[in-house]
Each structure stands twice: as structure tokens, then as C-alpha cells.
């Protein structure tokens, strides 16, 4: 039996989060009424001309810098010619032989701990096409809102070897574009799209096998499953004495199968040529340097710094660095409170839970890092117990009040006053003579029960350390 | 016919009240009606023009009128005018109405020009005789059995026959200069990028230039000053200051050094045209202008290079006319591919189809390098010819076309013959240089002969200054159509 190796290359399209479209002033945001965002330029009216959105160029350059591409001082737009109803001009303005970014690399770590470095061939700017809506029986409708929305297409080298690596690669790209705040990375809404080229070959073979292209993978899980499906399909085909034919497949996530795309299998000749309506895109050294100042710390660097500067465990650093917003939230809490581990626990625990339950992003989370740091300080200073702190947290979030005010209003302050504690202890010792006897008889564990009772009596407000200490002293003195 | 020589005189008459703008516009409208057989216009806006005239008269009276107040302008039917048909003389756009103003149109309006109508042309500007029009050919006012030239034939006719003061044309490979030559008027193709292309329906984007046509250099200069200049809606428009062309042409041209490119006087040039151009050169020399022979060695490649590049660009530019969003869609139930095919087959004329096919071929995989790629290199060589020449001389003088206006139908079945008409205009188009046609007399049949002045990039002032000198001192035949 032959061992096979899969060779996978990915093309990722990321919608750049600019306010306006790539070549006109129309709103580029998602979700407007069909055909609300349209003008003579994006409708391809006779005589209309494209004007480049400089913001999109900066976003593309930022991406290039983040993935260690060479950001070219001159790049050229080209026309990709083909007919389709959702392509108003009959060509897509893209980049061809002179893209804005050349080369680059993406580092991955597989679940088995193996580190991989995946080459990036290029990244180029292009405009999105519109959307064809086929769900009516009598007609196909076209929504042009998406026409002209800026995209960056990132093309990987055929360096990926497993379906897991393919998924990790897409996840990493998404993480980076979100860190750069140039794309919201939503695969379901299509702001991040991925096509995979897959071929297999016997282990040790250097020639590439015949590849197929898989489209329509709308989630990370789909990427992994679709690639896995296609690798197995191709191996089975070859094992059965067949041959792989070059074709385009569509992933059907409901049925977990990739099916050949209908029709148009004839190889397209896109007749690329330089776009005469747009001058070459020139990026001066000064401009590139200016853009570079906007490059944020990237996830890998952040993770390492969280370990080295804050002494966080690897696990915490990894979780917190997944999202730039979360990482920045954590860091503000850590700096304001001076307690990184507590900041980490709160961010990964209560904060993450609230965000999950409210189905919001951390950017929309209303409790400021400074207030959370105050809560951490209240616990540290024994003003409130850990349990009460959670109540303060929820109240601060819902009532938009300072944690101190909440502690006062709700009387959540910890009882650290010795005479008050003594009074309670006396009462407990009187009420629970059996447990006292047990303790005095040498059953140390009985103290736990007594502490619990005292805590209940204080409605959770007794300072646990002081309570423990006083109770033990009292019991010892009774021996 | 008009009681004024040029616009500045018209403006004086309007200001003094000796001329009524409404009556002037009515006279133009009447003449347009009288000379309908010329087929110069595809649409005329009589009521709007009169309304405009009333409005502008008031502005002239209260002193708030723009630079071109009351100038009656005809616009080639390839430049968008809001709420007006923009047919490009093609069946595919016969019912299309523009939703915005082209920048040159907008700038004319802002200076209170009166846009009286849209002029006939070859379909999508593809042709040199105005015979490729869905509205039928425009006719040469000097001899109605002859072509007016093209593609901006209707604009040249409208000027020559006194149906307007100034017309806007568009020139890709000679489409302003050649019809101006055939009809005996001035027509300027500015430097590529000097005038915004926003709203000019694209034929070949890296060539297309909008320019004015008129019976005198002054009006060309005046109109150019208004339409030229950077436009944020056209990324290829030049951010180069616009000089005062009217002031510039008032300066003496005698100190200029002029080159005659010998390749333009080779085989194929009609003897009478040659004699007229050489005569003009001699007359200039006698006025003290220095004339030298120069060489533009790649002139022979111009036609082939031009037709490869422009058809390639056109094949892409015309892809949008697919019957999906606007324009003609073939009737009947068909598949998507069949709808495309049928709509485009019905909508486009023969010449347009021929060029789309040529251009598609030139860009095809496997042929790109041999055709489009090579043509781009040849374009650079032609451009260098001009660069070299303008190191030696200030301006070039050459014929605008190899012959005078030819009979309707003569070349329509012979595309190559037709393309050869562009032999003297395509080089400057490839190089992006400005060129103006200057009428210099007539042949034995009384047909106008055109001389072309070509200048270095952005030297419209020099080009127009020499055009003025030639027109005044060397003797331009005024159109006999008046």
C-alpha cells in the first residue's frame, strides 16, 4: 500500500473594512437594502471611471508588513475580463503580474505541537463582484452593493500538507487581519472567503499531482472537512486505478460532500491587461514608513510578551492573545490593577462569560478595564470576598456604577471587625455543640463545617481568613 | 452667417444688446432644421436651449454670467449629459439616458454655455467617415455626397455648417482632427490627460481625448481653457496648471522652430494636400519662422500599433454592453450565454464587432506577447520619436489626413483603406501629444485641406499659437458651406 502526501494551496479573499468602496465613494458596509449602495462607477455606466481608495492601499500594505511580504513600491491594476451579470463592467479590476505584496510567511503550530511555516506567494488588491440571487424561480436577481468592495486576495504557496494545517492557516490569516483591523473576518457573512487547491502524490514524489479546486467553504470547520474529503476522494480514486481530473468542486456543508460545479468547465481566458484607467500605485518610502508605524504588535509577539513580562502561564497567554481586543483589555486591567494573574483570570473567566452570554464583542463590553481593576483591588484589600466580587462585577456592569459605590449600596463589604466576628463565632459554637465536641475530640475537619455555618450567618461577608483564624483560636482555647 | 467672427465678439454684442441671445439660439435652431439633410445631430434640445438663452441673458445683464455665457455648443453623442440620451450612435444604447454630466460638459455648463444638441458620430467613435452610425452618416456640408470624416463627423459638420458656435469632439486616433480637416474647421486633440475623460464613453482609455472644434482658433482656445484641468473623478487626468490659452495665442509665433517630419510626406499623400502643406510651410518660412526637416522613424508602425492597442482596450471597454443592466437586451427566452450573444449581435454594428474581435484576439492567452505586448513596445518607440523631435524643434507641421473628403460609401467595405486615413493622426495619439487641424485652402474640387500642428505634451498654447499664425497669415480657406 502506497503512502500519499497531500499538497494544498489556499487562496483567501478578505474584504477590507474601508468606509467606501475601492473605486468610488459608495458605502462599502454589509447589510444595506439590495442595490442601495450604487453609483455610475460601480454600476459600470458608460463613461464612469474608477478612482482608487487610498485607505484600501494602506490596509493592503499593512497586511503585507504583518506577513513579512515585500510591499512593492509600484504595483499595477489589471483588468480580468469575463462576462457575468453580477460583474457590471464585464471585467474585474484586480492586480495581475505586479501585485502590491510579494512573498511572505505564516507560522502555524499543529495540535501535535509541530511548527510549520507556510509560504505566501503574493497578496493583491481587487474589487469584489456583486451578488447573484438565484432563489426565485422566474429570474436571477443581482444585488450590486458588494460590487467594488475592496478585497485583498492572499495566495499561499502549496506548502500545506494536511486538512488541519489548512484550517490553522485560515484561522491564522483571520487572526492577523482582525489584529490589523482591516477585515472583520466573518466567514459566514463572506467577509473572509477561502478556496483550496488540493492534489495528492505518493510520499517521496516531487512532481505535483493533478489538482482540484474547492470553493464555498463558509467556516473553518468546512475548510478542514472539505480538504479532508477531497484528499480521501483523490486517494481512493487513484487506489482504484482512476485518475484525478482537474475541476472545480463546491463544498456542501449540509451533506459533507464536495460536488463538481455545474457547467463552465472550459478554461477561462481572462485576457488580463493593465488597467488604463488607473495609474500605477506608487508607495514612497516615506509613506511605507508611515504605514509601518500603524502596524500593531502581532499575536505571536503578544503571546510571548504576556509570558515574559506578566509571568502568565502559556495557556493564559495563548487564550488572551487570540484577539487583539481581548489582549488589550487584559493588558489594561493588568496594568491598572498590578495583578496580571488576577486580570487574566477575570478576563478569561467572568468577562469572557458575559461576552459569550450577551453575544457581543469585547469592544462593546461596558465594564471598563479600570473598573475591573478596582474590583480586583477590593478583593486584594479584603474589602470584599471573592464571591461578593462577582456580585459587584455584575452590578457594576449592569448599573454602570463604580465598584465602591456598589459595595456600599449593597452592603457587600467584608466583615473584618474582630468583635463582630467574635459575636458570630460565639453564636455558632453555642448552636453546634456536636461539631465543637468532635473538633475537641481531635476531628480537625469539623472546623470546616463551623466556618461554613459562620459564613452563612454573615451572609458570605465574613473575611474568611480572619474568621478561620479566630474560630481556630477559640476552639484551641477550649481544649 | 453669424453676425460675429468669434465668441468674444458675440459676447460684446450680447452685452451691448445688439444681439439677442434668444434670437441667436432660435437662428441656430432654424438652421439645424434647414440643414437636416446633413444629419449632424442625433438629438436637439430646442425648448431647453431657448430657456437657457433667457436665463443666460439675465445673467449677462446682471453681470453674473460665466466665461462662455451664451456660447452655443454641440456635444458629441459619446459625452454624458445628465437626463439626455447618450447613444454613442449605437443600437445598443439607443434608449440609454445618462444619469450624470461628463466633467467637460459640467464645466461648460458652469460657464453658462448653451448645450443645444448631441452630434452624430461613428458608433462608439470607431470609424473615420461617420458612416458607422446607427443614425446613418452625417454628410459633408461642402459636398453632401461626401463624408464629413469621423468619428466626430457630426461635430465637424455642426461647426462648418454654422449650426453652433463650438462643438465638443473626442479623438482617439484622429477623430477630431480628421473630420475638422474634411470639413474645413479647427479641431484640437489636447494632450492625453489634459481634459478629464469622466463621462466620456470609453473607446480606448489610454488614447481617448476630449477637445473643442470651432471656426476660429480663439474659440478653441477659450473652450479648452474651460474644459481642461485636473479632475478628481479621473485618476489619469493631469494635475498640471491650465494656462490662459487666449492670452497665449495672442503672442507672436514667429520665433518658433518648426519641424516637418519627412515620414509624413512619403508615399500615399495626395499631391494637392502635399502642395498645400508644403506651401504653408514655405509661407511660414517667408514670415521668418525657422523650418527644418526632422525624422520620426517609427511612423510606419503607428497604424498597426494603434489598431492593436485600441481594439484590445475597446474589447474590454465594451464588455459592459451586455444587455443586463441597461441598454439593448435581445427579446425572447434564452440562456444567459445566448442572451449575451444575441444582445451584442443585435446591438453592435459591423465595425464595432470587428474591433471587439480583433482586440479580444490580441489579448488572448498565447497571443498577448506577440500582439498587445509588442504593440506596447512599439508605442514607446513612437513616443520616443516625438521626444527626440521636440528636442530639436518646438512644433511639428504635417498633413491631418492623406486626402480630402472622400465620397460616401467609397471605403466602407474596405476597413484597411479606411484605417489608412488615420496614418498622420495616430502617431500623436500613440504619443499622447496635442494636435490641431488648421484649414489651409482647398483642392480643385473645393474640398478643404487640413494641416496638422503637433506639439509636445501640454504645449496646447504653442500648438494654437502656430495654428493662429497659419490661419491668419498663410491663408486658411473658410468653409464654403456658409
DSSP state of B200: B
- Phi, psi angles (nearest 5°) of residue A163: -65, -35
Same domain for B249 and B307: no
Task: Give the integer Cα–Cα distance in Å for A165 and A99.
Answer: 26
Over residues A228-238, the mean pLDDT reads 97
User: Is residue B126 located within the same domain as residue B228?
Assistant: yes
Average pLDDT of the segment spanning A446-451: 87
Bridge-based pairing of strands A74-75 and A91-95 is: unpaired
- Who among A46, A88, A279 is closest to B86 (CB)? A46
B448 within a domain of the structure (yes/no): no
**Are both A113 and A223 inside the same structural domain?**
yes
In a shared domain, residues B47 and B132: yes
List active site positions of B. Answer: 76, 151, 175
Interface of B with A in 173-232 (CB under 8 A): 197-202, 204-206, 232
Task: Give a yes or no: residue A162 inside a domain.
Answer: yes
Q: Is B100 on the interface with A (CB under 8 A)?
A: yes
Tell me if A271 and B316 make a contact (CB, 8 A cut-off).
yes
How many CA atoms lie within 13 Å of B201's alpha carbon, on the beta-carbon side? Answer: 31
For residue B367, CA distances in Å to A267, B356, B359, B364 come to 16, 15, 11, 5
Residue in the structure block whose three cell numbers are 462643438:
B167
Task: Determine contact, residues B88/A46, Cβ cutoff 8 Å.
Answer: yes
Q: Please tell me the distance from the alpha carbon of residue B145 to that of residue A84, in angstroms, as a whole number.
A: 44
Q: Indicate whether B228 and B357 sit together in one domain.
A: no
B50 within domain boundaries? yes
Q: State the residue for C-alpha cell 460675429.
A: B4
pLDDT at B427: 98
A436/B13: higher pLDDT? B13
For B476, counting Cβ atoms within 10 Å of its Cβ (0-12 exposed, 13-18 middle, 19+ buried), the class is: buried
Tell me what the mean pLDDT of segment A123-142 comes to: 91
Q: What is the pLDDT of residue A27?
A: 96
| Percent of chain A predicted with pLDDT > 90 | 74
The answer to whether A44 contacts B100, with C-beta atoms less than 8 Å apart, is no
Closest residue by Cα to residue B401 from B272, B208, B292, B262: B272
Q: Between B334 and B290, whose confidence is greater?
A: B290
Three-state DSSP class for A195? strand
The distance of B375 to chain A (nearest Cα, Å) reads: 13
My answer on whether A75 and A217 are in the same domain is yes
E strand segments, A225-291: 248-252, 257-260, 273-274, 281-282
Query: A251 and A164 share a domain?
Result: yes
pLDDT in tens, B437-468: 999 999 999 999 999 999 999 999 999 999 99
Measure Cα distances from B99 to A405, B127, B203, B324 in Å: 61, 27, 19, 17
A239 with A90, same domain? Answer: yes
Q: A91: which chain B residues are within 8 Å (Cβ-Cβ)? A: 316, 319
Minimal CA–CA distance to A245: which of A286, A199, A280?
Answer: A199
Residue B41 in domain? yes
Contact between A184 and A18 (Cβ < 8 Å): no
Residue in B with minimal Cα distance to A39: B99
Give the residue from A234, A265, A287 where a domain finishes.
Answer: A287
Q: Could you say which DSSP state residue A338 is in? A: S
| CA nearest to B104 within chain A | A47
Q: With 90 as the cut, is the pLDDT of residue A262 above it?
A: no
Among A380-394, A409-423, B128-142, the minimum mean pLDDT is found in: A409-423
Asked if residue B276 is part of any domain, the answer here is no
Do B312 and B250 sit in the same domain of this protein? no
Give per-residue pLDDT as tens, A373-397: 999 999 898 888 888 899 899 999 8
Q: Which of B255, B288, B319 is the last residue of a domain?
A: B255
Q: How far apart are the first and last CA of chain B?
A: 7
When pLDDT is averaged across residues A257-282 and rounded to a whole number, the result is: 86
pLDDT of residue A264: 53
At B342, give phi and psi (nearest 5°): -65, -40
Same domain? A40 vs A171: yes
Rounded Cα distance between A458 and A162, Å, is 58
User: What mean pLDDT comes out for the span B345-374?
Assistant: 97
Asked whether residue A265 carries a pLDDT value surpassing 70, the answer given is: no
Give the end of a domain, one of B199, B232, B255.
B255
The predicted-structure confidence for A7-64, as pLDDT tens digits, reads as follows 999 999 999 999 999 999 999 998 899 999 999 999 999 999 999 999 999 999 999 9
pLDDT at site B19? 97
CA dihedral A255, A256, A262, A264 (to 10 degrees): 160
Report the pLDDT averaged over residues A162-181: 97
Q: Which A residues, 32 through 51, put their C-beta within 8 Å of a C-beta on chain B?
A: 40, 43-51
Residue A445 burial (C-beta neighbours within 10 Å; 0-12, 13-18, 19+): exposed
My answer on whether A355 and A213 are in the same domain is no
Q: How far apart are CA A462 and CA A466, in angstroms?
A: 8
The residue behind cell 503550530 is: A109
Question: What is the average pLDDT score of chain B?
Answer: 96
CB-based burial label for B371 (10 Å; 0-12, 13-18, 19+): buried
pLDDT of A388 reads 84
Residue that is last in its domain, among A406, A440, A465: A406
Q: A20 to chain B, minimum CA–CA distance in Å?
A: 15
pLDDT tens track for B28-37 = 999 999 999 9
User: Per the CB < 8 Å rule, is A81 touching B232?
Assistant: no
Nearest CB among A44, A51, A79 relative to B235 is that of A51
Q: What nine digits make up the cell of A128?
A: 469584489
> Considering just the CA atoms, what is the radius of gyration of chain A in Å?
30
Please return the burial class of A107, using the count of CB atoms within 10 Å of its CB with bins 0-12, 13-18 and 19+. Answer: middle
Q: Residue A227 domain-assigned?
A: yes
Confirm if A303 and A318 have CB atoms less than 8 A apart: yes
Average of per-residue pLDDT across B217-224: 98
Looking at residue A71, its pLDDT comes to 98
Higher pLDDT, B93 or A432: B93
| Residue B441 domain-assigned (yes or no) | no
Q: Out of A358, A384, A406, pick the residue that ends a domain.
A: A406
Contact A48 B88 (CB under 8 A): no
* pLDDT computed for residue A381 by the predictor: 86
- Give the model's pLDDT for residue B482: 39
- Give per-residue pLDDT as tens, B168-204: 999 999 999 999 999 999 999 999 999 999 999 999 9
A293 lies in some domain: no
What's the domain count of chain A?
Answer: 3
Same domain flag for A344 and A366? yes
pLDDT beyond 50 at B480: no
How confident is the model at residue A89, as a pLDDT? 98
Q: Residue A80's closest chain B neighbor by CA?
A: B316
CATH number for position A422? 1.10.10.410
Is A292 within the bounds of a domain? Answer: no
For residue B175, is it within any domain?
yes
- The DSSP result for B98-147, as a single string, is -SS--HHHHHHHHTT-EEEEEE--SGGG--SSS-S-TT-----SS-TTB-
Is residue B134 located within the same domain as residue B232?
Answer: yes
In whole angstroms, give the CA distance from residue B23 to residue B31.
Answer: 12
pLDDT at residue A266, rounded to an integer? 57
Range of the domain at B146: 7-255
Please choose, from the candidates B323, B2, B372, the residue with its C-alpha nearest in 3D space to the C-alpha of residue B206: B372
Q: Is residue B228 part of a domain?
A: yes
* B179 and B62 inside one domain: yes
Name beta bridge partners: B119.
B41, B76
Total Cβ atoms within 10 A of residue A295: 14
The answer to whether residues A341 and A447 belong to one domain is no
Domain assignment of residue A411, yes or no: no
B99 touches chain A (CB under 8 A): yes
Q: N- to C-terminal Cα distance for chain A?
A: 79
Tell me the DSSP string of B256-319: -EEEEEGGGGSTT--HHHHHHHHHHHHHHHHTT-EEEEE--TTGGGHHHHHHHHHHHHHHHHGG
Q: Does B62 lie in the same domain as B132?
A: yes
How many angstroms from the chain centroid is the CA of residue A357? 17
In the listed set B376, B404, B438, which residue is the last one of a domain according to the structure? Answer: B376
Asked whether residue A261 falls in the same domain as residue A161, the answer is: yes
Total number of domains constituting chain B? 2
Q: Can you tell me the mean pLDDT for A250-271?
A: 83
Backbone angles phi, psi at A359, to 5 degrees: 50, 50
Shortest alpha-carbon distance between residue A276 and chain B (Å) = 5
Q: In this structure, is residue A294 part of a structural domain?
A: no
- Cβ separation B232–A269 shorter than 8 A: no
Closest CA to B244 of B224, B262, B264: B224
pLDDT band at B478 (very low <50, low <70, confident <90, very high): very low
Same domain, A233 and A113: yes
- pLDDT tens-digit series, residues A458-471: 877 888 888 888 88
Q: Report chain B residues whose CB lies below 8 A from the CB of A263.
A: none
Interchain pair A45, B100: CB under 8 A? yes
Average pLDDT rounded to a whole number, residues B415-420: 92
- Is A393 part of a structural domain of the chain? yes
pLDDT at A385: 81
Whether B178 and B307 share a structural domain: no
- The CATH number for B57's domain is 3.90.1300.10
Residues B11, B131, single domain; the answer is: yes
Residue B256: Cβ within 10 Å count: 18
Q: In what order do the strands lie in the sheet with B395-399?
A: B41-44, B114-119, B72-76, B166-171, B209-214, B186-189, B435-442, B448-455, B395-399, B257-261, B290-294
Q: How far apart are CA B293 and CA A320, in angstroms?
A: 77
User: Is the backbone peptide bond immediately before B151 cis, with ω within 30 degrees of 0?
Assistant: yes
Q: CA B455: distance to chain centroid?
A: 16
Domain span at A350 = 299-406
Closest by alpha carbon to A376, among A386, A367, A366? A386
Measured from the Cβ of residue A48, the count of other Cβ atoms closer than 10 Å reads 26
Q: Is the model's pLDDT at B429 over the cut of 50?
A: yes
Amino acid at each position: 500500500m502506497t503512502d500519499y502526501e497531500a499538497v494544498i494551496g489556499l487562496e483567501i479573499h478578505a474584504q477590507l473594512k474601508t468606509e467606501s468602496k475601492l473605486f468610488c465613494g459608495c458605502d462599502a458596509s454589509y447589510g444595506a437594502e439590495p442595490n442601495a449602495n450604487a453609483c455610475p462607477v460601480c454600476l459600470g455606466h458608460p463613461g464612469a471611471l474608477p478612482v482608487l481608495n487610498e485607505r484600501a492601499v494602506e490596509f493592503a500594505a499593512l497586511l503585507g508588513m504583518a506577513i513579512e511580504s515585500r510591499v512593492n513600491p509600484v504595483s499595477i491594476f489589471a483588468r480580468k475580463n469575463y462576462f457575468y451579470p453580477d460583474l457590471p463592467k464585464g471585467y474585474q479590476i484586480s492586480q495581475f503580474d505586479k501585485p502590491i505584496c510579494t512573498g511572505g510567511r505564516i507560522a502555524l503550530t499543529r495540535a501535535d505541537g509541530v511548527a510549520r511555516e507556510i509560504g505566501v506567494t503574493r497578496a493583491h488588491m481587487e474589487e469584489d463582484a456583486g451578488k447573484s440571487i438565484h432563489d426565485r424561480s422566474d429570474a436571477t436577481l443581482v444585488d450590486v452593493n458588494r460590487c467594488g468592495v475592496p478585497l485583498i486576495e492572499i495566495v499561499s504557496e502549496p506548502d500545506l500538507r494536511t486538512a488541519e494545517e489548512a484550517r490553522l492557516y485560515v484561522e491564522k490569516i483571520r487572526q492577523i487581519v482582525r489584529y490589523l483591523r482591516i477585515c472583520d473576518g466573518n466567514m459566514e457573512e463572506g467577509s473572509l472567503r477561502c478556496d483550496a487547491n488540493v492534489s495528492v502524490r505518493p510520499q517521496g514524489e516531487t512532481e505535483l499531482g493533478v489538482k482540484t479546486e474547492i470553493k464555498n467553504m463558509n467556516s473553518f470547520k468546512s475548510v478542514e472537512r472539505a480538504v479532508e474529503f477531497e484528499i480521501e476522494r483523490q486517494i481512493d480514486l487513484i487506489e482504484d486505478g482512476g485518475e484525478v481530473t482537474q475541476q472545480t468542486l463546491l463544498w456542501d456543508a449540509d451533506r459533507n460532500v464536495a460536488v463538481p460545479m455545474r457547467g463552465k468547465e472550459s478554461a477561462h481566458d481572462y485576457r488580463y491587461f493593465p488597467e488604463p484607467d488607473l495609474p500605477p500605485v506608487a508607495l514612497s518610502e516615506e509613506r511605507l514608513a508611515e504605514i509601518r508605524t500603524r502596524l500593531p504588535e502581532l499575536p505571536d509577539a503578544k503571546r510571548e510578551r504576556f509570558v515574559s513580562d506578566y509571568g502568565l502561564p502559556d495557556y493564559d497567554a495563548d487564550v488572551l492573545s487570540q484577539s487583539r481586543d481581548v489582549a488589550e483589555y487584559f493588558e489594561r486591567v493588568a496594568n491598572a490593577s498590578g495583578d496580571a494573574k488576577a486580570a487574566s483570570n477575570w478576563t478569561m473567566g467572568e468577562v469572557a462569560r458575559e461576552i459569550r452570554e450577551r453575544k457581543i464583542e469585547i469592544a462593546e463590553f461596558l465594564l471598563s478595564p479600570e473598573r475591573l481593576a478596582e474590583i480586583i483591588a477590593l478583593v486584594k484589600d479584603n474589602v470584599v470576598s471573592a464571591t461578593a466580587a462577582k456580585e459587584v462585577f455584575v452590578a457594576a456592569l449592569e448599573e454602570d456604577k463604580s465598584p465602591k459605590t456598589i459595595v456600599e449600596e449593597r452592603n457587600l463589604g467584608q466583615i473584618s471587625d474582630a468583635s463582630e466576628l467574635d459575636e458570630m463565632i460565639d453564636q455558632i459554637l453555642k448552636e453546634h455543640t456536636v461539631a465543637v465536641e468532635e473538633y475537641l475530640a481531635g476531628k480537625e475537619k469539623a472546623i470546616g463545617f463551623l466556618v461554613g455555618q459562620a459564613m452563612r450567618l454573615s451572609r458570605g461577608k465574613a473575611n474568611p481568613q480572619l474568621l478561620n483564624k479566630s474560630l481556630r483560636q477559640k476552639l484551641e482555647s477550649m481544649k | 452667417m453669424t453676425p460675429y467672427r468669434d465668441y468674444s465678439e458675440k459676447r460684446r454684442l450680447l452685452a451691448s444688446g445688439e444681439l439677442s441671445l434668444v434670437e441667436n439660439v432660435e437662428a441656430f435652431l432654424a438652421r439645424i432644421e434647414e440643414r437636416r439633410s446633413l444629419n449632424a445631430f442625433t438629438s436637439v434640445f430646442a425648448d431647453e436651449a431657448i430657456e437657457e438663452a433667457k436665463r443666460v441673458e439675465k445673467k449677462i445683464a446682471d453681470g453674473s454670467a460665466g466665461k462662455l455665457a451664451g456660447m452655443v455648443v454641440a456635444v458629441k453623442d459619446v459625452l454624458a449629459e445628465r437626463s439626455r440620451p447618450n447613444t454613442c450612435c449605437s443600437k445598443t444604447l439607443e434608449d440609454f439616458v445618462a444619469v450624470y454630466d461628463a466633467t467637460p460638459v459640467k464645466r461648460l455648463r458652469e460657464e453658462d454655455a448653451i448645450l443645444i444638441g448631441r452630434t452624430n458620430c461613428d458608433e462608439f467613435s470607431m470609424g473615420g467617415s461617420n458612416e458607422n452610425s446607427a443614425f446613418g452618416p452625417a454628410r459633408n456640408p461642402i459636398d453632401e455626397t461626401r463624408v464629413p470624416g469621423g468619428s466626430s463627423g457630426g461635430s465637424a459638420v455642426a461647426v462648418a455648417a454654422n449650426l453652433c458656435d463650438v462643438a465638443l469632439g473626442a479623438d482617439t486616433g484622429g477623430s477630431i482632427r480628421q473630420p475638422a480637416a474634411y470639413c474645413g474647421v479647427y479641431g484640437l486633440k489636447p494632450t492625453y490627460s489634459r481634459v478629464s475623460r469622466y463621462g466620456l464613453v470609453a473607446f480606448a482609455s489610454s488614447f481617448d481625448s476630449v477637445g473643442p472644434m470651432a471656426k476660429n482658433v480663439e474659440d478653441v482656445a477659450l473652450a479648452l481653457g474651460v474644459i481642461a484641468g485636473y479632475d478628481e473623478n479621473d485618476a489619469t487626468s493631469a494635475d498640471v496648471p491650465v494656462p490662459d490659452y487666449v492670452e497665449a495665442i495672442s503672442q507672436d509665433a514667429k520665433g518658433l522652430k518648426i519641424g516637418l517630419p519627412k515620414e509624413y510626406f512619403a508615399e500615399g499623400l495626395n499631391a494637392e494636400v502635399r502642395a498645400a502643406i508644403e506651401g504653408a510651410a514655405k509661407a511660414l518660412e517667408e514670415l521668418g519662422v525657422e523650418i527644418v526637416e526632422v525624422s520620426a522613424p517609427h511612423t510606419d508602425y503607428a497604424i498597426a500599433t494603434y489598431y492593436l492597442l485600441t481594439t484590445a482596450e475597446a474589447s474590454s471597454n465594451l464588455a459592459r454592453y451586455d444587455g443586463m443592466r441597461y441598454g439593448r437586451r435581445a427579446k425572447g427566452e434564452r440562456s444567459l450565454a445566448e442572451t449575451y450573444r444575441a444582445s451584442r449581435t443585435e446591438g453592435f454594428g459591423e465595425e464595432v464587432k470587428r474591433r471587439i474581435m480583433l482586440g479580444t484576439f490580441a489579448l488572448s492567452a498565447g497571443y498577448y506577447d506577440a500582439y498587445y505586448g509588442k504593440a506596447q513596445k512599439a508605442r514607446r518607440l513612437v513616443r520616443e520619436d516625438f521626444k527626440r523631435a521636440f528636442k530639436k524643434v518646438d512644433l511639428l507641421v504635417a498633413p491631418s489626413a492623406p486626402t480630402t473628403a472622400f465620397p460616401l460609401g467609397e471605403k466602407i467595405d474596405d476597413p484597411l483603406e479606411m484605417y489608412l486615413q488615420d496614418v498622420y493622426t495616430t502617431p500623436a495619439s500613440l504619443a499622447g501629444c496635442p494636435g490641431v487641424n488648421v484649414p489651409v485652402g482647398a483642392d480643385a474640387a473645393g474640398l478643404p485641406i487640413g494641416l496638422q500642428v503637433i506639439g509636445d505634451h501640454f504645449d496646447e498654447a504653442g500648438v494654437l499659437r502656430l495654428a493662429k499664425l497659419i490661419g491668419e497669415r498663410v491663408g486658411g480657406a473658410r468653409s464654403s458651406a456658409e
